[in-house]
Structure 1
Amino acid sequence: MSELALEEVSAIAAIFCGKDECEVLEVSETEGISFRIQTHVEGPLGTDVLLKLLFHLPISYPASLPNISVNSEQLTRTQCVGVRERLLEEAKRHFSQPMVHELILWIQQNLKHAVEHAGATSVCCAGRSTLSTGAAEDDGIWTILLHLDHMRAKGKYVKTVEKWCTDLKLTGRLMFMGKMILLLLQGDRRSIKTWIQAERSAKRK
């Protein structure tokens, strides 16, 4: 794991030291580092937007770009996708350098422009379950972040996740953060949609 990545995350945690501002989710020698940043940013029409940014730094970072998910209850899914795309564009300008703090500062200053660039300036309230997509609808590969309301049987659900990931050829990661449960999925667009449909059907049973 890159020492630069560890030092950068440590510095970010010191900067965003308020309640729930920064939470390190995973530090792994094989998978890299995952952490979440929550920051209040001025949004469209002067609204206050609580922006939730999930960063995954692979072990090759900063020689490779971070994976980023964007979520906010004050933004639509399309707007979140647009913001993520702008962040990835900005990340390319800092390639091979520690960049996460720069990306956070950039979105704090440019959220309104990023939302407008996404083609929608209206602000709405999202539902209880949130979905962050990592690709436009006509892309072949999707990355989504699912917020699970609850989990009745952890062991059984983990086995179900492993089986569905294998059957659908998806990469999946369950993240437990106190009472919050997140599921990160990446793979073919059709397989992602099949997963969502299967999970909804399972909830009805």
Structure 2
Amino acid sequence: MAEPVREELSALAAIFCGPDEWEVLSLSETDGAVFRILTKAEGFTDTDIPLQLVFHLPLSYPSCLPGIVVNSKHLTRAQCEIVKEKLLEQAETLLLEPMVHELVLWIQENLRHILKCPEAGGGSEKCSSAASMTVDDGLWMTLLHLDHMRAKAKYVKTVEKWASDLRLTGRLMFMGVPDSSENLQSGCGLKWKEMQREND
């Protein structure tokens, strides 16, 4: 990991030193750094909204954009996705320099305006910022293994909704499904369910 990135991580740890404000999730010489920052930003009702920001600094950072995940119990998934897109737009203006602290300050100052945008479910006035850009964070895969599932149809519906809300493309695999004739014959067949959301 490059020395400037180590220095930035050290500075961030000193800045976000309150209880649970900062947590390093992983440090790797091959994958970079992943860490979480808990902060608050003013929403459009003048109340502070807690935000959990997870940053992934790849090895080529800061010459490339960081990966960003935004979560908040007070925002919908769609609003979190819009906040993430706006943060990535802002990050594009800060390439080649340490940017995480600048991004946190920026979202603290601008969350209220972002939430007022019509696409975020806010007011009817127009947003001043440009249309959001799609950023390719690369291909990644997640495997979730469940021992027991009571209601398969409800599970599938929930996963499809998450995939739609988060703009994911993926595949559900059910191993050893008893009502599948292929499984009864082979004993190890797979039933596939395709999930795909068309890009806007």
**With structure 2 as the length reference, what TM-score do the two structures score?**
0.64
Counterparts of 1:173 and 1:57 in 2: how far apart (Å)?
A: 23
2:3 is aligned with what amino acid?
E
Q: Residues 119-158 of structure 1: matches in 2 within 5 Å?
A: 119-121=120-122
Comparing both structures, which one devotes a greater share of its residues to strand? 1
Counterparts of 1:23 and 1:52 in 2: how far apart (Å)?
A: 11
CA distance 1:140–1:64, shift in 2 (3 Å): closer
Unaligned runs of 5+ in 1: 123-135, 144-168, 175-184
Q: Residues 110-189 of structure 1: matches in 2 within 5 Å?
A: 110-117=110-117, 118-121=119-122, 170-172=140-142, 189=168
CA distance 1:78–1:101, shift in 2 (3 Å): same
The residue that corresponds to 1:48 in the other structure is 48
- The CA deviation string for residues 11-47 of structure 1, in whole angstroms up to 9 with x for no partner, is 0110000000010111100010000000121112112
* CA positional deviation for 1:90: 0.2
More displaced, 96-105 or 112-121?
A: 112-121
- The CA deviation string for residues 72-121 of structure 1, in whole angstroms up to 9 with x for no partner, is 00011111011000000000000111100000000010011122234313
Identify which of structures 1 and 2 has the higher relative contact order when contacts are C-alpha pairs closer than 8 Å and 6+ apart.
1
The residue that corresponds to 1:11 in the other structure is 11
Could you say which structure has the larger radius of gyration?
Answer: 2
* CA positional deviation for 1:5: 1.1
Counterparts of 1:102 and 1:189 in 2: how far apart (Å)?
A: 28
The residue that corresponds to 1:92 in the other structure is 92
The residue that corresponds to 2:33 in the other structure is 33
Counterparts of 2:143 and 2:55 in 1: how far apart (Å)?
A: 13
CA distance 1:170–1:8, shift in 2 (3 Å): closer
**With structure 1 as the length reference, what TM-score do the two structures score?**
0.62
Comparing both structures, which one devotes a greater share of its residues to helix? 1
CA distance 1:2–1:77, shift in 2 (3 Å): same
- Identity percentage of aligned residues: 48
The residue that corresponds to 1:65 in the other structure is 65
Counterparts of 1:140 and 1:104 in 2: how far apart (Å)?
A: 19
* CA positional deviation for 1:140: 11
Unaligned runs of 5+ in 2: 124-131, 145-162, 178-200
CA distance 1:140–1:15, shift in 2 (3 Å): closer
- The CA deviation string for residues 127-151 of structure 1, in whole angstroms up to 9 with x for no partner, is xxxxxxxxx9xx79799xxxxxxxx
Counterparts of 1:28 and 1:97 in 2: how far apart (Å)?
A: 21
Counterparts of 2:24 and 2:10 in 1: how far apart (Å)?
A: 10
Runs of 4+ in 1 over 3 A off after TM superposition: 139-143
Counterparts of 2:63 and 2:36 in 1: how far apart (Å)?
A: 21
CA distance 1:97–1:85, shift in 2 (3 Å): same
The residue that corresponds to 2:191 in the other structure is none
Contact 2:67 2:137 in 1 (8 A): no
